[in-house]
Amino acid sequence: MAEGTITERGRKLLTLQPPPPEPLPLFQAGGMTFHTHTCAPAKGDPHKWLCNSPYCAVLDETCPDHGGLEPIIIGREPWRR
C-alpha cells in the first residue's frame, strides 16, 4: 500500500465539524418507520416534517400545524368506523 501525504486543504477538511442537525416537527401515527413530508404554507417558507403513518400517499402537502390534514393513525382508520 502506498503512503499518502495530507495536503493543507485535507488537514482543514479533517478538522471541520458538520453543523448539528435541525430538529424537524414530528407527527406520530403509530407506524414503525418515518418519512419526510414537505410543507409549503400559503404564508412563510416551505419546511420539512416527519411522519410515521403508513397511509401517506403524497409527501408534498401542508402540515397539520398549517391547516393540513392530520396523518391517519393506526387503529383509528376512517374506514374502520
Number of domains observed in the structure of the chain: 1
- Does residue 48 lie within any of the structural domains? yes
Identify the pLDDT of residue 39: 92
- Does residue 65 lie within any of the structural domains? yes
| Range(s) of the domain holding residue 33 | 23-76
**pLDDT per residue as tens digits for the range 9-55:** 888 878 878 778 777 777 777 777 889 999 988 888 899 988 988 88
- Does residue 28 lie within any of the structural domains? yes
- Does residue 70 lie within any of the structural domains? yes
CA 68, CA 37: separation in Å to the nearest integer? 12
CA 23, CA 4: separation in Å to the nearest integer? 39
- Does residue 43 lie within any of the structural domains? yes
CA 68, CA 56: separation in Å to the nearest integer? 13
Decide if pLDDT at 72 tops 70. yes
- Does residue 15 lie within any of the structural domains? no
- Does residue 63 lie within any of the structural domains? yes
- Does residue 8 lie within any of the structural domains? no
For residues 68 and 3, which has the higher predicted lDDT (pLDDT)?
Answer: 68
Which residues are within 8 A (CB) of 26 and not within 5 positions of it... i.e. 6 or more apart? 34, 49, 50, 51
Q: Are 64 and 27 in contact (CB under 8 A)?
A: yes
Give the strand order in the sheet containing 26-27. Answer: 26-27, 47-51, 35-39
